[in-house]
């Protein structure tokens, strides 16, 4: 064992050195503390024998300073003096000495002291090794905890922070120096009394692990927390699950919308069939009514207007079910916006104040869907201003480029804005106003702005909350503009010319009222009509007519037939017999996407239900005719 002997008396140093070396120890001697300091700087000594009376410095002071330095507790200090006075022994032990040796040294006493020293030195070495291992392990654990994707911090039983990793620092907004040793609830008063504190205290009192989800009031973030209590305190692991929860909610919303959409499609299909009969019969009644009977014609006109509103409702159901724009048209926006706004403000004390550009371009859009967008935004403004006042509606041409900050392609757009003078949208609601089912009104569905936003996007535009303050909110949407030089006026179908053409038409529909109505409408246009209930009958009638040399000018096929061949299956059979069959698909599912699929099956045109006499005449006139040689 390496021993540092610090002794002023040369004779004592020699005698003690001899005794120590005889026992196999390696001894370095010093006559004063200055030499001892230098020796300790050069080498490590597990045992220091220190004389209590030294010429250059107080040995007790030196002993205390030695203990204070880094690694000073790893040296066994044996203090020596001429006589064992109790006060001196206490002073030596208080200064940091491990034991006391009395001069003159006796071999047996020295051997006993050294044995005790060696035993303690072995314990010190084992402890230091354990401490080093523990430090290494702690450092490794801290490194792992710091690199983990979860936040982690530990609290003692007094709720003071004892450790925290980098993720916790980031989430809590304080670094470790600001966290360690501080009471957690005092440092974060927003969490005091929250569900987070209740769960932590529950885990601590019951000494059982607990897993829960929590969020801070006014914060959209959500965290999954795992609390592990121990006798020393509690360990808290947490991770941000805000994105996962939003995705889950979006999936649930999508599933709800999908189920509701399927239900809406079924309702819209049946409603369209019923409306086709109502609208058609009203048109026939209008044709048969005496021209001088103004009251009757007025009643019929009002009924047709109500039917058209029901048709718009059916169209909205299909929009909700499919999210697809239906048939786009080149339309003047100003008149449509005024009409939709005035309709939406009926029954209220509000009035619309318009600012519409004289040179406003046109847009290619679905008129019914555009009305629905304006209706949703005006209704939203109406609900924000419960009392009398004005709603500002503006429409202007707008040029978008990279610097405009809009998420649309560069080009020309129509910008329509609806501004109210209500209290504005609450800051915490802005991120959710276009989400389905989100509403701050107890009696609202939360679908108006969501569907409006979807419709605008489907037509290549963009809807956003442009301005928001306590003085009101402004919603604006942009639609791709069509230059007026590119707009061609479309002439209405020539019903009189159509009525002079006596051609044969085959009608297939499983609804008796639809078959009867379609036949009656075609009869008013001088068509020769044959009706059947399903696809097999249509194939037989078509084949028989061809054999007799009386081919059909056109075939109207219902898309969906209960218990029989529908439109897609029927045209496949007809095309086997006649590749040039002039077939028109009719469907209560009147969305553009499905109609396009039917056209891909070989249909020459599509006629959505409900249809008017004018639309029926137009589709028969515009549909390309089949080769006469093939059908006659």
Q: Which of 91-100, 458-467, 494-503, 508-517 has the lowest mean pLDDT?
A: 494-503
* Mean pLDDT calculated for residue range 203-231: 83
- Starting at the edge strand found earlier in the chain, the sheet holding 210-215 runs 161-164, 151-156, 233-240, 222-229, 210-215
- Residue-wise pLDDT tens digits, 380-398: 888 888 777 889 999 999 9
Q: What is the pLDDT of residue 233?
A: 92
Q: Where are the beta strands (DSSP E) in 401-471?
A: 411-419, 462-469
The pLDDT of residue 368 is above 90? no
pLDDT grade for 260, boundaries at 50, 70 and 90: low
Dihedral, CA of residue 287, residue 605, residue 516 and residue 519, to nearest 10: 60
Q: What is the pLDDT of residue 557?
A: 92
- Residue-wise pLDDT tens digits, 301-315: 778 777 777 766 666
Q: Which of 23-32, 106-115, 160-169, 527-536 has the lowest mean pLDDT?
A: 106-115
Give the whole-angstrom CA distance, residue 323 versus residue 611: 22
The pLDDT of residue 78 is above 60? yes
The pLDDT of residue 146 is above 80? no
pLDDT grade for 316, boundaries at 50, 70 and 90: low
Q: What is the pLDDT of residue 365?
A: 81
- Residue-wise pLDDT tens digits, 427-457: 778 877 877 666 776 666 566 787 788 788 8
Which whole-number Å values give the CA distances from 270 to 324, 372, 512, in the listed order?
Answer: 19, 22, 13
Contact criterion met (CB below 8 Å) for 63 and 52: no
- Minimal CA–CA distance to 523: which of 541, 542, 543, 498? 498
pTM: 0.39
- Residue-wise pLDDT tens digits, 166-201: 888 888 888 888 888 999 998 888 888 888 999 999
Contact criterion met (CB below 8 Å) for 394 and 353: no
Strand 26-30 and strand 47-51: the pairing is unpaired
pLDDT grade for 155, boundaries at 50, 70 and 90: very high
The strand pairing partners of 356, in sequence order, are 395
Provide the token pair at 131. Answer: 């401490």
Q: What is the pLDDT of residue 400?
A: 84
The alpha carbon of 231 is separated from its chain's Cα centroid by a whole number of angstroms, namely 40
Dihedral, CA of residue 587, residue 592, residue 593 and residue 595, to nearest 10: 40
CA torsion through residues 200, 202, 203, 204, sign: positive
Q: What is the pLDDT of residue 485?
A: 44
The strand pairing partners of 50, in sequence order, are 6, 79
Q: What is the pLDDT of residue 486?
A: 41
The pLDDT of residue 317 is above 90? no
Strand 233-240 and strand 151-156: the pairing is antiparallel
Q: Which of 272-281, 322-331, 446-455, 482-491 has the lowest mean pLDDT?
A: 482-491
The strand pairing partners of 545, in sequence order, are none
Q: First and final CA of the chain: distance in angstroms?
A: 123
The alpha carbon of 318 is separated from its chain's Cα centroid by a whole number of angstroms, namely 26
Summary mean pLDDT of the chain: 80
The pLDDT of residue 117 is above 70? yes
pLDDT grade for 497, boundaries at 50, 70 and 90: very low
Using a 10 angstrom Cβ sphere, with 0-12 exposed, 13-18 middle and 19 or more buried, the burial of residue 508 is: buried
Q: At what angle do helices 59-68 and 86-95 cross, to 10 degrees?
A: 30
The pLDDT of residue 630 is above 50? no
């Amino acid at each position: 064992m390496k021993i540092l002997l610090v002794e002023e008396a040369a004779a004592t140093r020699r005698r003690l050195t001899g005794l120590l070396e005889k026992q196999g120890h390696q001894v370095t001697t010093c006559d004063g503390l200055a030499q001892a300091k230098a020796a300790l700087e050069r080498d490590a000594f597990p045992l220091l024998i220190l004389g209590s009376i030294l010429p250059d410095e107080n040995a007790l002071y030196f002993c205390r300073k030695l203990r204070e330095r880094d690694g000073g507790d790893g040296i066994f200090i044996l203090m020596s003096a001429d006589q064992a006075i109790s006060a001196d022994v206490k002073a030596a032990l208080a200064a940091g000495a491990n034991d006391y040796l009395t001069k003159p040294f006796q071999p047996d006493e020295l051997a006993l002291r050294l044995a005790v020293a060696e035993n303690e030195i072995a314990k010190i070495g084992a402890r230091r090794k354990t401490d080093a291992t523990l430090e290494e392990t702690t450092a490794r654990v801290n490194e792992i905890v710091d690199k983990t994707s979860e936040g982690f911090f530990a609290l003692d039983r007094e709720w003071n922070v004892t450790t925290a990793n980098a993720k916790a620092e980031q989430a809590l907004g304080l670094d470790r120096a600001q966290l360690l040793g501080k009471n957690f609830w005092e440092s974060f008063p927003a969490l005091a009394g929250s569900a987070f504190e209740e769960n932590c205290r529950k885990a601590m009192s019951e000494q059982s692990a607990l897993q829960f989800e929590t969020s801070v009031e006014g914060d959209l973030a959500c965290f999954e927390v795992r609390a592990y209590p121990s006798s020393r305190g509690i360990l808290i692991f947490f991770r941000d699950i805000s994105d996962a929860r939003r995705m889950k909610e979006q999936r649930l919303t999508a599933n709800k919308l999908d189920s509701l959409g399927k239900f809406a499609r079924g309702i819209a299909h049946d409603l369209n069939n019923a409306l086709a009969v109502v609208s058609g019969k009203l048109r026939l009644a209008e044709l048969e009514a005496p021209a001088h009977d103004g009251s009757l014609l007025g009643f019929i006109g009002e009924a047709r207007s109500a039917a058209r509103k029901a048709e718009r409702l059916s169209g909205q159901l299909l929009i909700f079910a499919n999210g697809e724009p239906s048939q786009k048209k080149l339309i003047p926006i100003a008149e449509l916006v005024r009409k939709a706004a005035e309709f939406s403000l009926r029954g209220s004390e509000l009035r619309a104040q318009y600012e519409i550009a004289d040179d406003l371009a046109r847009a290619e859009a679905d008129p019914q869907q555009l009305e629905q967008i304006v209706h949703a935004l005006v209704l939203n403004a109406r609900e924000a201003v419960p009392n009398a006042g004005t709603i500002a509606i503006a429409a202007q041409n707008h040029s978008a480029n990279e610097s405009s900050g809009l998420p649309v392609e560069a080009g020309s757009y129509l910008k329509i804005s609806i501004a109210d003078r209500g209290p504005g949208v609450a800051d915490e609601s802005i991120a959710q106003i276009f989400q389905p089912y989100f509403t701050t009104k107890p009696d609202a569905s939360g679908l108006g702005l969501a569907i409006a936003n979807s419709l605008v996007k489907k037509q290549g535009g963009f809807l956003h909350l442009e301005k928001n303050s306590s003085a009101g909110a402004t919603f604006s949407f942009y639609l791709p503009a069509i230059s007026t030089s590119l707009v061609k006026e479309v002439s209405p179908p020539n019903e009189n010319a159509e009525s002079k053409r006596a051609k044969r038409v085959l009608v297939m529909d499983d609804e008796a009222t639809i078959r009867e109505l379609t036949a009656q409408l075609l009869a008013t246009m001088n068509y020769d009509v044959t009706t059947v209930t399903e696809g097999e009958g249509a194939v037989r009638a078509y084949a028989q007519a061809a054999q007799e040399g009386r081919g059909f000018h056109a075939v109207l096929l219902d898309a969906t037939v209960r218990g029989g061949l529908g439109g897609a299956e029927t045209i496949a059979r007809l095309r086997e017999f006649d590749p040039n069959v002039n077939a028109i698909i009719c469907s209560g599912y009147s969305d553009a996407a499905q109609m396009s699929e039917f056209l891909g099956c070989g249909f020459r045109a599509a006629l959505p239900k409900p249809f008017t006499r004018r639309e029926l005449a137009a589709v028969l006139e515009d549909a390309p005719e089949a080769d006469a040689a093939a059908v006659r």
